[in-house]
């Protein structure tokens, strides 16, 4: 394996297209890149050191934290490495958006869970278009009455 070019990691992390968010073992934000600022509207100063609740819709928080605590305690996740996950999220303005993301666990020197890194993409437009198409297809398949 060859070494990555100098600056590659910094260039990827500073990418303005996708959100890259890291959290520590307690679920507090430890990294928030410009893509996260663009997608969610919260500055890095707003996000750093905060639990992820500010981007998780209230009705999904309990489930998120139960899963997060389980993963940090056991080192096991119900999601496979590389799985593409789709969830709703919140922006600073309170708008609900759709995001797809992959997540990897960060481990300490002993191999124990120490946090996560997620790469997220706003797919709201695609989600909305697919939903509209499904509705159209359902409408077209609905039997018409001849009365």
* Residue 123 in this model has a pLDDT that exceeds 90: yes
Q: Would you list the domain boundaries of the chain?
A: 18-141
7 or 48: which leads in pLDDT? 48
51 or 138: which leads in pLDDT? 51
66 or 136: which leads in pLDDT? 66
Cα 112 from chain centre: 22
For residue 36, give the DSSP letter.
H
Residue 22's pLDDT is what?
Answer: 97
Q: What does the alpha-carbon distance between residue 79 and residue 30 come to, in Å, rounded to a whole number?
A: 22
Phi, psi of 32 (to 5 degrees): -150, 105
Q: How many C-beta atoms surround the C-beta of residue 47 within 10 A?
A: 21
Residue 139's pLDDT is what?
Answer: 77
134 or 110: which leads in pLDDT? 110
**Class of the CATH-defined domain 18-141:** alpha beta
* Residue 127 in this model has a pLDDT that exceeds 70: no
Q: How many C-beta atoms surround the C-beta of residue 139 within 10 A?
A: 8
Q: For 78-122, write each residue's pLDDT tens digit.
A: 776 777 889 999 999 999 999 999 999 999 999 999 999 999 999
DSSP string, 65-133: HHHHHHHHHHS--SSPTTPPEEEEEE-TT--EEEEEEEEEEEE-TTS-EEEEEEEEEE-HHHHHHHHHH
* Residue 36 in this model has a pLDDT that exceeds 80: yes
Cα 27 from chain centre: 13
Residue 16's pLDDT is what?
Answer: 67
For residue 42, give the DSSP letter.
-
63 or 7: which leads in pLDDT? 63
Q: Do the Cβ atoms of 104 and 13 come closer than 8 Å?
A: no
């Amino acid at each position: 394996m060859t070494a990555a070019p100098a600056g590659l990691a910094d260039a990827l992390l500073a990418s303005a297209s996708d959100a890259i968010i890291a959290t520590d073992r307690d679920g507090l934000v430890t990294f928030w890149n410009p893509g996260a600022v663009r997608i969610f509207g919260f500055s890095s100063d707003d996000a750093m050191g905060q639990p992820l609740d500010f981007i998780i819709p209230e009705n999904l928080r309990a489930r998120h934290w139960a899963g997060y605590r389980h993963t940090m305690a056991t080192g096991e996740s119900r999601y496979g490495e590389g799985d593409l996950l789709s969830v709703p999220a919140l922006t600073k303005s309170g708008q609900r958006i759709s995001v797809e993301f992959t997540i990897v666990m960060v481990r300490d020197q002993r191999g124990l869970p120490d946090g996560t890194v997620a790469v997220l993409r706003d797919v709201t437009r695609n989600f909305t278009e697919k939903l509209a198409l499904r509705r159209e297809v359902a409408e077209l398949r609905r039997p018409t009455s001849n009365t």
